[in-house]
Amino acid sequence: MKNPVNYQTTNLQIKENTEFLNKKNFDLSNNQTKNPTRHYVYIDFLRIIAILSVIALHCFSQFFVDINLYGTKTWWAINILNSVSRFGVPIFFMISGHLLLTRYEGEIKISSFLKKRLLKILIPLAAWSLIYYLYYGISPGKNMSVPDFLSNFISSNIAYHLWFLYTLIFLYLIIPVFQPFIAKASPKQIFYLLIVSILPVTIFPFINKISGIWLFRFDSVINGYFGYMILGVLLGKVDTLKVKQRILIYLGGIAGILMAVFGTVYYSNSSAIDAFFNGGYQINSFLIAAAIFVFVRELFKRIENNKNSKSTASFLTAISFLGKCSFGVYLIHVLILELLCKYISYPSLPIQIICNFLICSAISFAGSALISKIPVLNKILLF
């Protein structure tokens, strides 16, 4: 006969874990609009894998276009990794669209929205632009000045990865305009908006590339990355997908990877690497990002079934914390990576890529976590 105290202990643990989850305000479901203040762990997990993909991409992207490596086993490995890793920034845009475009609670005060959102970006953007400006200015022969800094700052010409923040600023400017429409729109209407958004920058260029004919590419009404925001809204609104629909999306993701891998090989030669499928809003990136978004959301729905266990609670806490560090990691990782490349040498290129990725990721997460704990500084350097 089992000891009844074990049952009491088990019940107590379940109760404690449930209270812990409620205290942390964790929610693994997807209904953002019903309670926009709740914390959604699968979003944090998406942020983590997105920033890791960005770091990986920056570790090997320069070797992807190296003609001397073309056709080697190393280049093939980099080509595959490069094709897979292109989902990072699209996922970030999808998350922003999913969280912000669906958050509509009546008439919007545009000034209040912009003040709240833009300041959160402009302050760390200015701070990190200054940090990178000073870092690059240390090199011999570089003359630094306030006018030179301001000139480079307004033209996004200081650090290559900061373009993301400039683009996000523009997208924030148009979010209040689309929020009322998104709140009332059906999935079909949102899908129509998605197609219209990506038609001139994604669909037409793809057709022109593979067909050899030329379709007139009219100017995009809005930034091409806005399409990812709409994709995030669309997948977020369609909370319940049938098995066949999910399989179709996953197959689309696989097709996107194969398209990028073999499309690059087909259009490249020993004289030049064709980087068409590396474009920011090519169709393969949309397919891969959609598949990853849906897969992670479905995965965390399954985790919800075991959310009362102590191990799950610890896992959710870790994911939540690391997810919050992702923005800081994005800002700091280029500095860490450049220092690693400058001061550490490796016996081979594969070892260099792997070690730089692991070390850069660890230091960047640790640095972001440390900054987040320092008052005032965390308001200046982090989102």
Tokens found for residue 82: 């490069």
Q: Write down the residue that tokens 């203040």 correspond to.
A: 37
User: In b/e form, how buried is each residue of 327-350, taking b as 16+ CB within 10 angstroms?
Assistant: bbbbbbbbbbbbebeeeeeeeebe
Torsion of CA 211, 277, 281, 353, to 10 degrees: 180
Q: Got the DSSP string for 40-57?
A: EHHHHHHHHHHHHHHHHH
Q: How confident is the model at residue 263 (pLDDT cuts 50, 70, 90)?
A: very high
Mean pLDDT is lowest, of 18-32, 116-130, 311-325, 358-372, for: 18-32
Q: Is the pLDDT of residue 29 over 50?
A: no
Angle at 57 between CA 52 and CA 61, to 5 degrees: 165
Residue 91, both tokens: 């996922």
More confident residue, 266 or 116: 266
pLDDT at 307: 66
Q: Identify residue 92 by its one-letter amino acid code.
A: F
Report the distance separating Cα 97 and Cα 79, nearest Å: 29
Q: What are the contacts of 123-128 at 24+ separation with CB within 8 A?
A: 123/379, 123/380, 124/165, 124/327, 124/331, 124/380, 124/381, 124/382, 124/383, 125/162, 125/165, 125/166, 125/169, 126/153, 127/380, 127/381, 128/159, 128/162, 128/331, 128/332, 128/381
Contacts of 316 (CB under 8 A, 6+ apart): 21, 24, 26, 41, 307
Give the global pTM.
0.87
* pLDDT of 281 over the 70 cut: yes
As a whole number of angstroms, the distance between CA 247 and CA 251 comes to 6
Rounded to the nearest 5 degrees, what angle is found at the Cα of 270, between the Cα atoms of 356 and 259? 70
Residue whose C-alpha is closest to residue 128's, from 374, 335, 373:
335
pLDDT-derived band of residue 12, with 50, 70 and 90 as boundaries? very low
As beta bridge partners, residue 269 has 272
Judged against a pLDDT cut of 80, whether residue 108 lies above it is answered with: no
For helices 349-372 and 73-84, the axis angle rounded to 10 degrees is: 30
Pairwise CA distance, residues 380 & 341, whole Å: 27
In this structure, what is the dihedral angle of CA atoms 134, 135, 140, 141, given to the nearest 10 degrees? Answer: -40
Residue 232's pLDDT is 95
Token pair 């989902």 is at which residue? 87
How does DSSP classify residue 1?
A: -
Tally of CA atoms within 13 A in the half-sphere of 283 that contains its CB? 17
> Do residues 218 and 273 touch, judged by C-beta distance below 8 A?
no
**Could you tell me if 250 and 307 are in contact, meaning their C-beta atoms sit under 8 angstroms apart?**
no
Q: Return the sign of the alpha-carbon dihedral for residues 306, 308, 311, 312.
A: positive
C-alpha to C-alpha distance for 160 and 358, rounded to whole angstroms: 21
- What does the pLDDT look like over 191-203, one tens digit per residue? 999 999 999 889 9
Q: What pLDDT digit, counting tens, does each position of 207-229 carry?
A: 989 988 887 777 777 778 999 99
d(CA 87, CA 3): 52
